[in-house]
């Protein structure tokens, strides 16, 4: 299977970096073709410019500035997001990726006066993430990253997409054994992908 991994964290020494490495290593070991996109290393510009917004509905012109990212997304069968949760949301660079790459006639299509999914090539969707807060606090605040990773993204993928959400909450207060256990579970899930 061709798996597109989208990673969003600036520090090479972070827990997110360890999880990203775990994801890529284990997917590769399982025999999958991995297209790894590190948004920071790639220099992705998350800012939606006035020109980009003006051209948003102008197909195919809307793709010109992000065509390589769109092509990579449309070529995969599975999408794995690797990121931390900051301020109860996606990191700005990841949010900008969705704002700029998930365009009309890319992530959604117009069908008989209604919207339909545009990324029907994606049949597996996984998020691997960490939270600084406890799960109950994230839930009280709506847990937008979980909803986005399991509902919003599901709506733009294949109608029978399989969705997995792997999250370690309260990372500032859990012990090393719990962190290592989470990394091991993520690795096992990627080998079973």
| pLDDT 10s digits, 83-100 | 999 999 999 999 999 999
Kindly report the average pLDDT of the chain as a whole number.
Answer: 95
The CA-to-CA distance between both ends of the chain, in Å, stands at 9
Does residue 178 have a pLDDT over 90? yes
Across 30-183, the runs of DSSP E, i.e. the strands, are 33-38, 78-84, 108-111, 114-117, 124-130, 162-168
Does residue 179 have a pLDDT over 90? yes
pLDDT of residue 141: 85
């Amino acid at each position: 299977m061709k798996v597109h991994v989208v990673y969003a964290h600036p520090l090479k020494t972070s827990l997110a970096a360890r999880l990203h490495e775990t994801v890529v290593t284990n997917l590769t070991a399982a025999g999958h073709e991995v297209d790894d996109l590190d948004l920071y290393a790639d220099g992705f510009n998350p800012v939606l410019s006035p020109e980009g917004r003006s051209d948003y509905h102008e197909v195919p012109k809307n793709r010109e500035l992000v065509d390589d990212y769109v092509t990579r997304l449309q070529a995969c069968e599975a999408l794995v997001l690797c990121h931390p949760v900051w301020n109860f949301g996606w990191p700005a660079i990841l949010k900008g990726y969705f704002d700029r790459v998930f365009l009309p006639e890319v992530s959604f299509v117009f069908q008989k006066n209604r919207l339909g999914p545009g990324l029907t090539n994606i049949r597996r969707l996984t998020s691997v993430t960490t939270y600084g807060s406890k799960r109950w606090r994230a839930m009280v605040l709506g847990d937008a990253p979980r909803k986005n990773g399991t509902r919003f993204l599901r709506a733009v993928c294949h109608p029978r997409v399989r969705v997995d959400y792997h999250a370690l909450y309260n990372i500032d207060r859990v012990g090393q054994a719990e962190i290592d256990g989470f990394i091991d579970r993520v690795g096992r899930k990627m080998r079973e992908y």
